A and B are shown apart, each in its own frame.
Chain A
């Protein structure tokens, strides 16, 4: 899949979910694998930085996480 699911982790950083080809839609994977109560957004893979040198400093505005909430 060329999409990723992002949500804010408990430390204020960003967790990125990489979907597998498992027969589920990305929406189903988001509902299942995003922690309960966490807001998430589905983004293109190109929107995720590839330089991970400052991975711990990645942030996301919670107001942008508008696609759903982990079940």
Chain B
């Protein structure tokens, strides 16, 4: 702790050295002392050891302004003469009077983003009525089409077209490719012929699985290919 008038007078070598070291000590300690320095300058710092307050001289050099208070856990910043407690400062929610408003808004925004990111999985699970903690994997493409008569798509997602290759033989083409060919193809078909309630076959054509399309076969239970009035295909990855 030291204070100095910051005026090095004309003096002998030893006294000059002592005077200079006292000035440097005053600078290093922010002019700490129990009373204010005798000589003051605009924007000069003074640590008031009696009250544990860091003060700064105003620009007119006419008064001291408290900038922070030292306590057991560190420093509490002051704003316009009042200690600032960010956790309890609800009087200025938009920080309009805060010189550090931009930084504090950024902090609040980041906390809000983190909160949203933490909440999104729960919201998605709730929206999908998915109970439990097992992970969910999305359907990446799907189509429902009529494979008889005038072959036509009823509805689809991420499917650009289907190709009618022949009786009971179709290709589903994706609008956006899969990341690889290791996806899961699921589906069903409704058999068209008599007698009713006979099982049909839904299958994936051999060597037809690529990133951009998958081949689908529909047929009778005896293995012969047959067109189906309703074919549903879903791709999971």
Give me the interface of A with B, judged by CB distance under 8 Å.
5, 9, 13, 15-24, 29, 32-33, 45, 48, 50, 52, 55-56
Contact = CB atoms under 8 A, between A and B. Distances in A.
Contacts of B153: 18-21
Question: Does more than half of chain A's interface fall in helix, strand or loop, or is it mixed?
Answer: mixed
Nearest to B227: A52
Interface stretch (B24-32, B124-132, B162-170): B162-170
* Interface SS of chain B: strand
Interface of B: 143, 145, 148-153, 156, 158-167, 173, 175, 212-213, 227
Contacts, number: 68
B156 A20 contact: yes
Contact of A22 (B152, B156, B164): B156
A45 B164 CA distance: 13
A15 B167 CA distance: 11
A18 B161 contact: yes
A56 B152 CA distance: 19
Contacts of A19: 153, 160-161
Contacts of A50: 149-150
Nearest to A16: B164
27 contacts: A13-B166, A15-B163, A16-B151, A17-B161, A18-B161, A18-B162, A18-B163, A20-B156, A20-B160, A20-B161, A21-B153, A21-B156, A22-B158, A23-B175, A24-B175, A29-B161, A29-B173, A32-B160, A33-B173, A33-B213, A48-B150, A50-B150, A52-B148, A52-B149, A52-B167, A52-B227, A56-B167
